[in-house]
Amino acid sequence: MKDLVIKSYGDLSFHRTISELIRMHSENQEDVREVAKNLVDWTGVRRIADLGCGYGWFEEVLGDGFDFILGIDCLPSNEAGFLSVAQRVARTARFANLQLPCPIDTDSDSFDLIIAAYSMYFFPDVLPEAKRILRPGGTLLIITHSAGMLEEGEEFFDFSNLREVINNFSAENGEKLLRQYFTDISAVDYANSLVFDKDAGDALAKYIDFKREFISKDISPIVVKVKLLYELESRGMMRFNKNDRVFVVRK
Ligand SMILES: C[S@@+](CC[C@H](N)C(=O)[O-])C[C@H]1O[C@@H](n2cnc3c(N)ncnc32)[C@H](O)[C@@H]1O
Q: What is the 69 CA–ligand 1 centroid distance (Å)?
A: 16
pLDDT of residue 215: 82
Ligand 1: residue of 119, 141, 190, 213 to mutate (most ligand atoms within 8 A of CB) is 119
Domain ranges of the chain: 2-250
* CB half-sphere exposure, 186, CA atoms < 13 A: 6
Residue type, 55: Y
pTM exceeds 0.85 for this model: yes
- Per-10-residue mean pLDDT of the chain, 251 residues long, equals 55 79 94 97 97 95 96 95 97 98 98 97 97 98 92 84 91 98 98 94 91 82 91 93 96 98
pLDDT of residue 3: 57
pLDDT of residue 151: 83
Q: Report how far residue 226's alpha carbon sits from residue 152's, in angstroms, rounded to the nearest whole number.
A: 16
Nearest to 80 by CA among 60, 63, 95: 95
pLDDT of residue 141: 98
pLDDT of residue 1: 46
190 lines ligand 1 (CB under 6 A): no
Q: What is the 76 CA–ligand 1 centroid distance (Å)?
A: 11
Q: What is the 54 CA–ligand 1 centroid distance (Å)?
A: 5
pLDDT of residue 157: 86
pLDDT of residue 245: 98
| 134, 158 contact by CB (below 8 A) | no
| 131, 182 contact by CB (below 8 A) | yes
Angle between helices 12-25 and 201-210 (to 10 degrees): 130
6 lines ligand 1 (CB under 6 A): yes
pLDDT of residue 15: 79
Q: Please, what CATH class does the domain formed by 2-250 belong to?
A: alpha beta
pLDDT of residue 150: 82
